[in-house]
């Protein structure tokens, strides 16, 4: 029965030399049993595993341990390497009785090959992902540099267009027809909108390019200052504002101001037509992380299009309804991402919006 087991059964004497092997030893190793007895098992192992096996057998024979399980590499008679799982133990013996070791060897080569194949595939995939990520980052840097350069280069001709339109309007206003004066006004308004968009593009590129200068930032105080600016710009509006006190984070203060300015201005803008507008800057703990939230009870948005919300130039409302460049939330997302955080939105049309975000400390 022992000879038919699909597993090597072995036994050693009190100095660790093999005294018994069943027939499966020849199947596994290719060595004849008679050639293998009176030799230590370590003789048949890969050189890198020999010392570990000798040490473990010595500890078993000395009584320092009762059992040993490990994964080793066996060198077959034909020079092939096979992985084996060894389970060895020192049977209990009476005082003065000689010690010996009994155990089993299982062929785990197929499993180890599968594990190594999977590991190699994962390493290859990781390398490809790193390479692709590097390519995308390089492309993004080039695109940001291009946007930054083009935006700067557009400023001069745009100023010229606006300047010449203004001069023409001032010098020839009395000789122009009403529709001509209206068209000149449209040119100047278009130039103004373009200037605002260029500034937003430069701001977006700057956010991605400038180095982070982390320090402790009082987010509550920043939010208060933004709200004060909004009240100063629109003193007739009455908005209920709630800001959680003492919200602090280790981050870039300039970028934190840009982020909160965009989020709170959005809330201010989209509550314009709300009868009793309310804006809040809150925070909560979720495990070890702080989740911040800017919420309002304004126009809200359709969550079916929320995945587009943080893309540059993406707008879910018309410019006529709510003016803007479509760059603000893209800028916010880049700032949050640069601080190893994430941002997401919850909203329903007509029920306001809640922008949640996290920041690494």
pLDDT tens-digit map of 206-224: 676 678 889 999 999 999 9
User: Which residues of the chain fall short of a pLDDT of 70?
Assistant: 1-5, 93-98, 139-155, 196-202, 204-206, 208-209, 312-326, 361
Structure tokens, 309: 């919300």
pTM: 0.52
Chain segment 350-361, per-residue pLDDT in tens: 889 999 999 986
CA nearest 288: which of 359, 235, 345, 225?
359
Chain segment 138-185, per-residue pLDDT in tens: 766 666 666 666 666 666 777 788 787 888 878 877 787 888 878 888
């Amino acid at each position: 029965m022992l000879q038919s087991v699909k597993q090597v059964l072995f036994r050693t004497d009190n100095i660790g030399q093999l005294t018994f092997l069943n027939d499966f030893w020849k199947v596994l190793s290719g060595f004849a049993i008679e050639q293998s007895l009176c030799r230590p098992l370590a003789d048949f192992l890969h050189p890198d595993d020999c010392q570990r096996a000798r040490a473990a057998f010595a500890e078993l024979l000395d009584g320092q341990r009762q059992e040993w399980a490990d994964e080793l590499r066996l060198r077959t008679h034909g020079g092939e390497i096979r992985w084996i799982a060894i389970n060895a133990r020192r049977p209990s013996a009476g005082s003065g009785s000689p010690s010996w070791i009994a155990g089993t060897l299982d062929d785990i080569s197929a499993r180890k090959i599968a594990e190594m194949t999977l590991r190699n595939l994962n390493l290859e995939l990781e390398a490809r992902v790193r390479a692709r990520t590097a390519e995308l980052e390089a492309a993004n840097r080039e695109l940001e540099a291009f946007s930054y350069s083009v935006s700067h280069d557009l400023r001069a001709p745009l100023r010229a267009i606006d300047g010449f339109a203004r001069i023409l309007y001032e010098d020839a206003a009395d000789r122009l027809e009403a529709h001509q004066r209206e068209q000149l006004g449209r040119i100047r308004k278009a130039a103004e909108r373009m200037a605002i968009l260029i500034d937003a593009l430069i701001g977006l590129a700057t956010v991605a390019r400038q180095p982070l200068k982390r320090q402790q930032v009082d987010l509550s105080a920043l939010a208060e200052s933004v709200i004060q600016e909004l009240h100063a710009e629109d003193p007739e509006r009455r908005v209920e504002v709630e800001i959680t006190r003492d919200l602090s984070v280790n981050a870039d203060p300039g970028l934190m101001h840009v982020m909160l300015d965009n989020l709170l201005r959005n809330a201010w803008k989209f509550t314009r037509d709300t009868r009793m507008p309310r804006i809040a800057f809150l925070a909560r703990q979720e495990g070890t992380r702080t989740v911040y939230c800017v919420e309002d009870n304004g126009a809200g948005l359709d969550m079916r299009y929320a995945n587009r919300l943080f893309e540059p130039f993406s707008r879910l409302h018309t410019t006529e309804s709510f003016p803007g460049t479509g760059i603000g939330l893209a800028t916010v997302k880049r700032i949050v991402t640069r601080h190893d955080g994430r941002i997401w939105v919850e909203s329903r049309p007509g029920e306001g919006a809640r922008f949640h975000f996290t920041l690494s400390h």
